[in-house]
Amino acid sequence: MTQLIVNADDFGLTPGVNRAIAELHAAGAVTSASLMARGAAVDDAIEIALRTPSLGVGCHVVLADGTPVLSPQAIPHLANPATGSMDASTARFLLALGRGPRAHRAMVREIQDETAAQIALLQSRGVRLTHIDTHKHLHMFPSVLRPVLRAAHAAGIRVIRNPFEPLWAVRATPKPSFIRFAEVVALRTLAPICRRIIAEEGFVTTGGTVAVLGTGHLDAAALAALLGSLQPGVWELVTHPGYNDADLDKIHTRLRASRNGERLALPAVKNFPGIDLVSFAALQSARL
């Protein structure tokens, strides 16, 4: 049996992103969304989540390129106290994480504290979270994964995204850039360590995430190629639909022009044969 979680990231980013997710869920194409606790349109997204219980909603934990829930002074390794923002660069985030034992321990504590704060903010608003994942897939790094898991565990969450793309999906992705292809394949070396940590912390996850390599290029042709290659198991299709409007123009995101294309392509998912569309709630139910 093949089960597919169609998850839309960046829920709460803009009203247009929220609208696209709500419309695609109503059309039977998107089953799940990952909500940014400090997204510019988070209040609108929470209203949608509360009136749409069939939509699985997770916490899209933001540890870089965003605004924290905690005071920047409380998490100086994650956020700049002068600007109040987290660094947009993944490379600088990783450099900070490896800046010596004392700084590493402090940053790990801050990751756990900020993750807990983002989860708590959403839960305090009545959102029932089905899973967690991270902006830019930062939890693929073991030093980030464990504190994120421990914060989620304390909040009663036991399901997390598997951020690694299976090789069959990598091979099925049409015309990837060589650099992005090399990055995705190289980062797969972290997968065994992360699977071990996930099991040790008592969490469950999928077999992998599809369309990581194709992020920003998930048009109708790419979607058909990936769905046509799906293997038996439980997988996540990561998507970023939205309306490319004036609100999106105000947001720092490399995924701007592609959001309309994904929004238009995704309804085809529900008509693809042999796929059972589920949310992360199915993994939680299987765990019990």
Q: List Cβ neighbours of 180 (8 Å cut-off, separation of 6 or more).
A: 213
The pLDDT score that the predictor gives to residue 72 is: 94
The pLDDT score that the predictor gives to residue 239 is: 97
Three-state secondary-structure class, residue 21: helix
The pLDDT score that the predictor gives to residue 251 is: 75
- 81-90, 122-131, 139-148, 247-256: least confidently modelled range: 247-256
pLDDT at 286 over 70: no
The pLDDT score that the predictor gives to residue 98 is: 84
Apex 57 CA angle, 226 and 78, nearest 5: 95
Q: Say which residue the tokens 């600088």 belong to.
A: 92
45-58 average pLDDT score: 98
> Could you tell me how many residues make up the chain?
288
Q: Give the pLDDT band (50/70/90) at residue 176.
A: confident
pLDDT at 243 over 90: yes
pLDDT at 247 over 90: no
Q: Which domains does the chain have, with CATH numbers?
A: 2-287 (3.20.20.370)
Greatest Cα pair distance in the chain? 53
The pLDDT score that the predictor gives to residue 1 is: 84
The pLDDT score that the predictor gives to residue 285 is: 65
Q: Helices (DSSP H) in the chain: which residue ranges?
A: 15-26, 42-51, 90-97, 101-124, 142-154, 167-172, 178-187, 191-200, 220-228, 246-249, 258-265, 281-287
Q: List Cβ neighbours of 277 (8 Å cut-off, separation of 6 or more).
A: 3, 4, 5, 6, 28, 31, 269, 270
The pLDDT score that the predictor gives to residue 111 is: 98
Q: Give the pLDDT band (50/70/90) at residue 59.
A: very high
The pLDDT score that the predictor gives to residue 113 is: 98
The pLDDT score that the predictor gives to residue 250 is: 77
58-82 average pLDDT score: 95
The pLDDT score that the predictor gives to residue 284 is: 75
Provide, rounded to the nearest whole percent, the portion of the chain with pLDDT above 70: 98
Provide DSSP, 184-207.
HHHHGGGHHHHHHHHHHTT-B--S
Q: Give the pLDDT band (50/70/90) at residue 258.
A: confident
- 105-109, 214-218, 234-238, 275-279: least confidently modelled range: 214-218
Q: Give the pLDDT band (50/70/90) at residue 175.
A: confident
77-82 average pLDDT score: 91
Gap between the Cα atoms of 97 and 60, Å rounded: 20
